[in-house]
Amino acid sequence: MAKKQPKCRFCEELIDKDTKALNRKLINRNQPDEALVCLKCMAETLDCTVEDLRDKIEEYKNGGCTLFG
């Protein structure tokens, strides 16, 4: 059986693999899927823009972070 795609705990938006990895990188490495947040809610919480977070994802990917595979 396929695993259900996680949703944002605040707004119910589906969480993609890069957003899941960013949650684990910036918020909590052991964060359960039920506690994940989407980029929009994360940006509001961290007082930055969604574009800032997308740039950070690319930075981590280019840097070889194993969470972003």
Q: Provide DSSP, 10-67.
A: TT-PBPPHHHHHHHHHHT-TT--GGG---HHHHHHHHTS-HHHHHHHHHHHHHTT-TT
Query: What's the confidence (pLDDT) of residue 25?
Result: 97
Structural domain boundaries, residue 49: 17-62
Q: Is residue 46 part of a domain?
A: yes
Q: Is residue 31 part of a domain?
A: yes
Q: Is residue 33 part of a domain?
A: yes
pTM score of the predicted model: 0.92
Q: Is residue 10 part of a domain?
A: no
Domain count along the chain: 1
Segment 14-49, tens digit of pLDDT: 999 999 999 999 999 999 999 999 999 999 999 999
